[in-house]
Copies of this chain bind each other. A is one copy, B any other.
Amino acid sequence: MIVDCAHYRDGRRQHEGRMDPAEAAAICRFEAGFVWLGMVEPSPEELSDVQEVFGLHELAVEDAQSFHLRPKVEQYEGGIYFVVLRTARYVDEREEVDFGEISLFIGPGFVITARQGAASDLHPARLRLESRPQLLEQGPASVLWAILDQVVDDYAPVVEGLERDIEEVERLVFSGSSAPTHRIYLLRREVTDFWRAVHPLLGAANAITQGGVLPRGDILRPYFRDVDDHLKLVNDEIVAQRDLLSTILQANMAVVSVEQNDVVRRISAWAAIITVPTFIASFYGMNFHNMPELQRSWGYPSVVALMVLSALALWAGFKRARWL
C-alpha cells in the first residue's frame, strides 16, 4: 500500500496529498528536488509498478519483498543505493522482541521506502525532517538519515525492556524463590536475535559514512555519525547483556547447588534428631529378662526425658553449626 508520495524542493514539500508513482517518476526525472514515495507491506504488483517507472534492479526489488534479511547497503548501477534496515519493538506481555524491515531505494531524485512486519512508523520521521529544511534540501540522503535515526532511536526501548527483564531474572535467581532457567534461556535467545538485527547494521552504517552514499554530504556527515554513535552504544549494551545472561545462567547453577547443599544439611539434621530417640526406643524394646531399668518406676519417665534431651541437644548443635 502506498501511504505517502511527495515532491520536495529547496527543503520544502511542494504540495499536500500524495501523487501517483508514475507522476512522481516524471517529476524526479525532469524537475529539481526529489520525490519520497512511502509504501507499507507493498503488494508484488505495486512493487513491480514502482520498479518499472523508477528503473530499479530486479534483485533489489526481490529483496524488498522477502523478509528476515540482514541489514545492508548495496550500490546498483545508475547511482541507486538499496538499503535494508531491521526494526525492533519490545512486546512487554510476551517478553519478546518483534522485528520488522524497512527497505530503501535511494536514487538521483527519489527515495522509495517499503516497510514490513513490526517496522517503525515512518510518519514521525517524515514530519521531523520536514521541519528541518536545511537538512531536507540536501536531497535523498537526508531521508536516509531521518529513517536511520528513527530506527536506531527505536532500539532504545528494546534495550530497556530487555534490561528490565534481566534485572527481574537477577532478583529471582538470587532471592532463591525459584530457578528460572527457562526464562534466562528465552531472554538469551531474544537478546541474540536482537543482536543479529543490530550488529550487521554497524558495518552498513560505516559504509554509508565512509562510502559514496552521501552526495555532497558535508552538512549531513555529522548527523550520520551521530546515528552511528547511538548504534555503537546500543550494540555495546546488547553485547554486555549477552555476557550478563551467560553469567546469570552459571550463577543460577551455583545458587541451585548451594541451595541443594542447604536442603541436604537441613534434612540430615532433622533425620538425626528423630533417629536418636528412635534408637533409644528400640533399645528399651529389647526383650532381655534382666534389664533392671524396665522394672523401676522412674525408668519410663527418665527415658522419655533422655529422648527429649538428646533431641534438644542435637537441635542446638545443628543450630550452632548453621545446619538448621
Which residues from 90 to 129 on chain A have a C-beta closer than 8 Å to any C-beta of chain B?
none
In the complex, the answer to whether A244 meets B282 with C-beta atoms within 8 Å is no
In the complex, the answer to whether B179 meets A174 with C-beta atoms within 8 Å is no
CB distance from A162 to the nearest CB of B (A): 15
* Contact flag A258-B181 (CB < 8 Å), given A192-B240, A274-B275, A283-B281: yes
Q: Mark A261-292, 1 if CB is under 8 A from B, else 0.
A: 10111011011101111110111111111110
In the complex, the answer to whether A181 meets B255 with C-beta atoms within 8 Å is yes
* Total A residues in contact with B, Cβ cutoff 8 Å: 85
In the complex, the answer to whether B249 meets A247 with C-beta atoms within 8 Å is yes
Compute how far the CA of A95 lies from the CA of B252 in the bound complex, rounded to whole angstroms: 22
Segment of A3-11, A13-21, A36-44, A71-79 in the binding face? A71-79
CB distance from A249 to the nearest CB of B (A): 6
Q: Mark A162-201, 1 if CB is under 8 A from B, else 0.
A: 0000000010001000010110110011001100100010
List, in ascending order, chain B residues with CB within 8 A of A182's CB: 174, 251, 255
In the complex, the answer to whether B70 meets A247 with C-beta atoms within 8 Å is no
CB distance from A186 to the nearest CB of B (A): 9
A205 at the interface (CB under 8 A from B): no
Q: Nearest CB to that of A253 among chain B residues?
A: B254
| 9 A–B pairs (Cβ distance < 8 Å), ordered by A | A74-B225, A76-B222, A77-B218, A174-B185, A249-B251, A278-B279, A278-B282, A286-B300, A287-B287
Pick the 10 closest A-B CB pairs, nearest first.
A281-B282, A284-B286, A285-B285, A288-B300, A267-B268, A181-B254, A174-B182, A281-B283, A256-B257, A185-B251
A60-B222, A254-B256, A274-B275 provided; 19 other pairs, C-beta below 8 A? A69-B229, A77-B218, A174-B182, A179-B258, A189-B247, A200-B236, A249-B254, A253-B254, A253-B257, A259-B261, A264-B267, A270-B272, A275-B278, A277-B279, A279-B281, A281-B285, A287-B287, A287-B291, A290-B297
